[in-house]
Chain A
Amino acid sequence: MLINLLRTHRWIRVSLSGLSVALLLGGVGLVGYPFFTNAWQGRIQAELDDQLVSPELQQAYKERKVETGDSLTRIRIPALDVDVVVVEGITPSALRAGAGHYPATALPCEGGNVAIAGHRTTYGRPFGNLDQLKAGDTIDLITPIGACQYKITKNPWVVQPTELGIIAPTEDKVVTLTTCHPKGSAAERLVVQGTWVQDIKAA
């Protein structure tokens, strides 16, 4: 019946054909979204790699004038095989680099709480396996002017997105990593904290 109707009314057939194309475009776009973000993040990281070692950024870092979206530090988590450049800022556009530094928190390797947010399922998912970290694992931060190592003090735990206390200033040198939880959702946040162990030579 419906098919006969399509045969007798050409405009219906054309409309449905156009609709199917639109649905296909949208479907492929949505399904492929994580893959596109990963590819894009890889492209950004290549640029950030170069920027991190540039004299201009080193000067900006010394003057604390690193702008949102620019390279700030490299984070290495040997236990997760993570090695990415962290940018300044946690705006959505900045976080397309994969990981971003909360601007109101301390700079890496300096006194206070250094807070870094990272994607878990998209944009290279640098913190995709953050839940697998455990106390004793190390986190290295390599800035344009130095490097230091932190040691995780306790296993990851989950907080509500509004629990800002975990990125509040501290007297000790602390690093705080946050990512969304559970995977694919932004309902909660997974947190990992480590304390400064030593300054290291940047490799």
Chain B
Amino acid sequence: MRMFRRTGAIALAALVVSAFMVVPSPASAQTVQTRAESFIATASARALNLSILNLNVTVGGSGIQMTSAPAGKATGAGVLLAPGTISTVEATTAGQALAPPKACVVDLPLLNLIDVELACGEARVDTNPGGPQTFGRGSVAAINVGGQQILALLAPVLDVLTPLLDQVLGTVQPVLGSLLGNLTGPLLTQLNVDPNTGLVSSLVDGLKQATQLATIRLGDSTSQGITEPGKITATANAQGGQIDVLPGLALGGAPLLSIVVGSAKATSVFDRAGGTSTPGFDAAILTVKLGLPILGGVTEIPVKLGAPLTLLAGTPLESTIALGAGTTTRNPDGSVSSVADGVKIHLLKGISGGILLELAHAESSIGGNTQLVEQQKIVEPVAQLAKTGGDPWVPMAGFVLLLAAFTTRRLVVARPSGNRRPADH
């Protein structure tokens, strides 16, 4: 019994001692000098910026920003002044995929100046592995520039004509010429008024029948940030649209002036392997169609870059069209930006300052640093695949030692043969 107790005590001590023998030392800190990839990308686009009677309205706007954090923010707005058409979403940590429902408003009147038929904003952000990805879109179906305040722009014309109401048109031809220039003929033709017999009042009534000054149909404005294994791309795209000035005024129902604007696109790309950034753009393409019968029906007029086109010069309806260019910029820190300017149109300059429209503007920028590649890490070279197996002799050796311990102990506690106690009888 005593032997069992002693053996047990020894075994317990062995357990404690051996536990200390096998307790591992804390993992040694190995300094690995690496640099995480970092980048920031932005893009924004607007389909239309409208300035009329000191009111500025941005229609069809979008924007994104994303970083390597990973984080991302996206905005899409049908009309920047109308909260119901704006969708904004932001992800500040990894593992988020956010896509709120589209924000849309149908038939949106703004201050009796313009009426937006359908305006929507949409935004999405995803910061899951492989990301971030961001997307913003602003869209509108159509914009009607009209209303009483807009029609009041014609007041100066009407004021001049009012004292002449009962006079025959032919007798006030110089006055009409100073007001309407070479539009006089087409207008009278359109309104079925004979210059020889018709009265000024007929012309005024005709002008009063106008319901709107312009109709604008716009494409979507999208801003997108895309992360791919080899590159990160920030793209802004304003898809342009068509502006019809005095729609239905000219012959055949065509607008007096029709301006078709192509898409403007700005792209900035970051090469994740090389660490270089590249800007690029596609400037808007512009087509102007003038619906004046005096020019032989609908006429297409080319507009050259850097050479603004002025139409109906000298009349209250004078309009200037300037085709924007594209630019790229490379900064000292390696970041780049690109701008695709769309078209700037100043309509009806002679009427209370007219209407200023900037269409299809897109810009993007990107910059960043690559992740240091693995070869630059201070990492011990691996000579062979990690050794994760035990040594098979260890437990076997343990049993041998236990057997030896038992044998030795038996020798120690054994009594000599000549000294054995005789058996009791």
- Interface majority SS on B: helix, strand, loop or mixed? loop
Q: Quick one: which of B35, B382, B385, B404 contacts A23, CB cutoff 8 A? A: B404
Task: State the CA gap A100–B28 with chains docked (Å).
Answer: 14
Could you say which of A27, A183, A201 contacts B405, with CB atoms under 8 Å apart?
Answer: A27
Contacting pair A19 B401 (CB below 8 A): no
Q: Which residues of B are found within 8 Å of A58, using beta-carbon distances?
A: 94
Interface status of A135 (Cβ within 8 A of chain B): no
Q: Which of A40, A120, A199 interacts with B129 by CB under 8 Å?
A: A199
Binds A, one of B241-249, B254-262, B408-416: B408-416
**Interface contact B399-A64, CB-CB below 8 Å:** no
> Which of A22, A40, A104 makes the CB contact (< 8 A) with B374?
A104
Q: Is B156 on the interface with A (CB-CB < 8 A)? A: no
* Residue among A24, A95, A180, A183 making CB contact with B11, cutoff 8 Å: A24
Bitwise interface map of A from 59 to 103 toward B, beta carbon under 8 Å scored 1, else 0: 000111101111000000000000000010111111111001011
Interface size on A, residues (CB 8 A): 86
Q: Contact at A161–B385, with CB atoms within 8 Å? A: yes
Task: Tell whether B53 is near chain A: CB-to-CB under 8 Å.
Answer: no
The answer to whether B398 and A29 touch across the interface, beta carbons within 8 angstroms, is yes
For chain B, give the interface size range.
35 or more
Mark contacts of A17-43 with chain B using CB atoms, 8 A cut-off: 1 yes-contact digit, 0 otherwise: 101111111111111111011001000
B34 within 8 A of A: yes
**Do residues A68 and B382 form an inter-chain contact, with CB atoms below 8 A?**
no
A158 to B417, CA, bound (A): 59
Stretch in B194-202, B292-300, B388-396 touching the partner = B388-396
Output the residue of A20, A104, A189, A202 with the most chain B CB within 10 A: A20
Q: Is the CB of A29 within 8 A of B18?
A: yes
Q: How far apart are B154's CB and chain A's nearest CB, in angstroms?
A: 60
Q: Does A46 contact B (CB under 8 A)?
A: no
For A167-180 the 0/1 string (1 means CB < 8 A from B) is 10100000000111
Beta-carbon contact of B28 and A33 below 8 Å: no
> Could you tell me if A27 and B415 are in contact, using CB atoms closer than 8 angstroms?
no
* Residues of A close to B392: CB separation below 8 A: 184-185
Contacting pair B14 A25 (CB below 8 A): yes
- How far, in Å, is A172 (CB) from chain B's closest CB? 10
Interface residues, chain B, with chain A CB atoms under 8 Å away: 7, 10-11, 13-15, 17-19, 21-32, 34-36, 69-70, 94-95, 128-130, 229, 371, 374, 377, 379, 382-392, 394-395, 397-406, 408-409, 411-412, 414-419
